[in-house]
Amino acid sequence: MRLLFWRKQSTPSSDERATPPRRWAWLGGRRVLTDTPYVMPKDSAEGDRLEAQHHLFKLAAGGLYRAPVRQPRAILDVACGTGIWAREMALAFPHARVIGIDIDPSLPERAIEILGPSGRFPQNFRFQVADVLQPLPFEDGEFDFVHARLISPFVPIKAWPQVVREMARVLKSGGVIEVVDGEQVQQ
């Protein structure tokens, strides 16, 4: 099933030009991002779903990753959602610098709620707001391991070459990219 939406852009008034546009809206009681191809909600219920999905993937894969990774020094999780995979990688590789990027900071904020007042992110983990459909905000060859999971729902087919090119650009020579995703069917 494919859903298509079109919205006519209105001409902003002078008051609207002064304030930055809101990047989200409420739809059926769920918080969703606007002006992005990401179609899933970005709220606490979605955060809970992503956390459960992570544990199912980890169980099915027999671990956090399948790539031939030994002792990475820098790890990037592209479109990290709640950041759970990146946080667990930070614990598994305490000497590595681990960065999770996502377009919206609300899900990592939800992760802080789940961890509770005594919980915290690992010292070697950092979250950064970034849009995978734009150039990644990192230097060439900065990471040993670049990971992305289930990004096909919001990466248009025509954008895949650029997304993969950006992941390869930030990868060190000899590094590994692991993309875990479903099959896209083009009709």
Q: What is the pLDDT of residue 59?
A: 87
Q: What is the reported pLDDT for 118? A: 56
Strands of 14-138 (E only): list them.
24-27, 30-33, 74-78, 97-102, 125-129
Q: What is the pLDDT of residue 19?
A: 44
- pLDDT for res 182: 74
User: What pLDDT is attached to residue 160?
Assistant: 93
Condensed to tens digits (0 to 9), the pLDDT of residues 58-117 reads 888 889 999 999 899 999 999 998 888 999 999 999 999 999 999 877 656 666 666 655
Between residues 28 and 84, which one has the greater pLDDT? 84
What pLDDT, in 10s, does the model give residues 136-174?
A: 999 999 999 999 998 888 888 899 999 999 999 999 999
Tokens of 139: 């230097």
Which of residues 157 and 48 earns the better pLDDT score? 157
Closest CA to 85 of 34, 46, 125, 113: 125
User: What's residue 8's pLDDT?
Assistant: 30
Residue 26's pLDDT is what? 61
Q: Supply the Cα-derived Rg of the chain in whole angstroms.
A: 18
DSSP state, 71?
S
Q: What is the pTM (predicted TM-score) of this model? A: 0.73
Structure token digits, residue 92: 């598994």
pLDDT for 5: 31
More confident residue, 165 or 33: 165
Q: What is 42-82 written as a DSSP string?
A: -SHHHHHHHHHHHHHHHHHHTSS--S--SS-SEEEEET-TT
Q: Which of 93, 48, 49, 47 is nearest to 67 (CA)?
A: 93
pLDDT, tens only, 104-132: 776 566 666 666 555 577 889 999 989 99
